[in-house]
Amino acid sequence: MSDAIIPSWEEVARLHGRTIYNFAYRLTGNAHDAHDLVQEVLLRVRRGLQAYAPTGSFEGWLWRITRNAFLDEIRRRKRRPTVPLPDGDREDSGAAPGPDEELATARLSEDVQRALLELPYDFREAVVLCDVVGLSYEEIADAAAIPVGTVRSRIHRGRRMLRGLLE
């Protein structure tokens, strides 16, 4: 039997729930879809933990479940994920009115979010997993079941496209 420590479902929710929510939020651009996705992911994690047998890293397993849940949700809904951020959702970003600098930062964040949503899904996902979630190239490759070289290419091209969109 493996000595690997398998977290409980509550620990996964507590330790990773916020990160999964941010992943979902940045991919969808809205709080409602992010909310639904986190619920779906955590339910799958709860079911999956019962039969979880560690073969790779736990994070690799978790993010495989997360991205699969996300892709399933997109297929199920058959709707464009490029929904602009409604006004009501902006409160969640914590961008409270303040000095000019804060407002400029909030505006830039909205621009970056909009630009992210314009990226092809594969590029957006790679960039978000790398720069929002903080996974290494190898962990992204594991989660997405693609070669590390493909991860490298998607991240680089995604960032270049972002730069072009935000000029």
Partner 1 sequence: MSHLGDLLGAYLDGELEAFDRARVSAHLEDCTACRIELGDVEWARSAVRNLPLIEPPPSLLGDLVGSRRRRRPMRWSRWAWAVSAVSAGALTIGLLIAPGQVNSPFDIGTLVDQHVARMVVDPGVSTIRGPVSGP
Least gap, CB of 48 to partner 1 (angstroms): 15
Provide the mask over 86-105, with x wherever binding to partner 1 is found by CB under 8 A and - wherever it is not: ------xxxx---------x
Distance, in Å, from the CA atom of 166 to the CA atom of 115, rounded to the nearest integer, reads: 7
Compute the least distance from the CB of residue 156 to partner 1, in Å.
3
Chosen residue from 7, 35, 59, 114 binding partner 1 by CB under 8 A:
35
Residues 128-157 that bind partner 1 (CB under 8 A): 128, 130-132, 136-137, 152-153, 155-157
| Residue with Cβ nearer partner 1 (3 or 134) | 134
